[in-house]
Structure 1
């Protein structure tokens, strides 16, 4: 399992590689970790890192990563040593790259606004005022469900999606049905599909 700080370092390096290192703040790292954890849970059914994500006042936060970069407040984070990300396995890299490709271009405040509209953070803060401090954990099952939603959006917004779906539908229509529904059997057939 990955350490949350290694994931944070990976995102910071990606920002510098993309020429947007100046935008990489602690707030942005926190939101990227939130999305990375959710997408990994959706894809693999297990956490990317063991640290919990908490529903703080200004959005989801992974406390160890926040504390590590706390001294920078809202300032640009320094580039980490490349060796610090060498041990990240290919599957984790793929998730981090997918999250970066989709969310990395957003400003920290936009990511924060997005997270405030999503059910995992709202659910973990249920009953608290907007000004209330909180260290309530965001449930892993809620993060997984969010990850499934985000993967669906990422897939649908991919430039190749319309052509791939066209091929899938064309192939499905060209395939001869394997089950023939007899007259009056539609209800039974539908129930068998829904069970």
Structure 2
């Protein structure tokens, strides 16, 4: 199991904190990590990373990443830009699904979605006493918490799948997902173009591939 900072660097390298070096940028990064972990648990019945997730006021937080982003952003960002991930296909699929579903939402929207899980409210309330003292140990979210509401994430994933065109399949190349119609395209024949595009030109996580008068179109 990888260190959570590797996934954080992946998101940072893609600029997904949206408002760099801000409180909201940090908050969005936290939520993307939380949802990636939950999606992996829903699909593969295991966590993506083992670092503790804690219920804070604005949602779930991985404290190691929050502190690193808050206190040493420039170094963290530089490390992220140099980062060359060697993720498995399964890891890329989870990260890209997370980005596809949640990447365009801002920090406040993601925080609101995080608050929809009962386990967040339970852990946050248990960890905060009447004097405002925060007990981090009592705030920890567990796989037992995930088990209680994993169907919510599975429903989101089901809707995403249903919204994709029925006649399309996907090919993952260097961490980039390409959607195509196998009745139209022989993916083996265009693999060199997909490999070059994913390594040199792609700035999104997914693309639709089609043919226009015999010419390859990637959009």
TM-score interval w.r.t. the shorter chain? 0.5 to 0.7
Matched, 1:28 2:33: no
Per-residue deviation, 1:105: 0.5
- The 1:160/1:60 distance shift into structure 2, 3 A limit, reads closer
CA distance, structure 2, for counterparts of residue 25 and residue 72 of structure 1: 14
Counterpart among 135, 140, 144 of residue 143 in structure 2? 140
> Unaligned regions of 5+ residues in structure 2, if any?
168-219
Q: Which secondary structure state, in structure 1, belongs to the residue aligned with residue 144 of structure 2?
A: helix
- The 1:90/1:144 distance shift into structure 2, 3 A limit, reads farther
Q: Which has the higher contact order (CA 8 A, sep 6+)?
A: 1
Pairs within 5 Å for 1:142-157: 142-157=145-160
Q: Which secondary structure state, in structure 2, belongs to the residue aligned with residue 125 of structure 1?
A: helix
User: What is aligned with 1:6?
Assistant: 6
Determine if contact 2:12/2:80 at 8 Å carries over to the other structure. Answer: no
Determine if contact 2:54/2:140 at 8 Å carries over to the other structure. Answer: yes
Matched, 1:108 2:111: no
Per-residue deviation, 1:21: 6.3
TM-score normalized by the length of structure 1: 0.68
CA distance, structure 2, for counterparts of residue 95 and residue 145 of structure 1: 21
Determine if contact 1:39/1:148 at 8 Å carries over to the other structure. Answer: no
Per-residue deviation, 1:140: 1.3
Higher share in helix: 1
User: What is aligned with 2:57?
Assistant: 57
User: What is aligned with 2:92?
Assistant: 93
Give runs of ≥4 in structure 1 deviating > 6 Å. Answer: none
Matched pairs, number: 160
Per-residue deviation, 1:106: 0.5
RMSD: 3.1
Computing the radius of gyration over CA atoms, which structure comes out larger, 1 or 2? Answer: 1
- The 1:20/1:64 distance shift into structure 2, 3 A limit, reads closer
What do the CA deviations read for 1:29-68 (whole angstroms, capped 9, x no partner)? 1111111111111111111011010112222111111121
Pairs within 5 Å for 1:183-194: none
TM-score normalized by the length of structure 2: 0.61
Per-residue deviation, 1:7: 0.8
> Unaligned regions of 5+ residues in structure 1, if any?
165-195
CA distance, structure 2, for counterparts of residue 125 and residue 44 of structure 1: 27
Q: Which secondary structure state, in structure 1, belongs to the residue aligned with residue 14 of structure 2?
A: helix
Which 10-residue stretch deviates more, 109-118 or 83-92? Answer: 83-92
CA distance, structure 1, for counterparts of residue 96 and residue 150 of structure 2: 15
Matched, 1:119 2:118: yes
- The 1:62/1:56 distance shift into structure 2, 3 A limit, reads same
What do the CA deviations read for 1:65-86 (whole angstroms, capped 9, x no partner)? 112112268x9x8364455242
Higher share in strand: 2
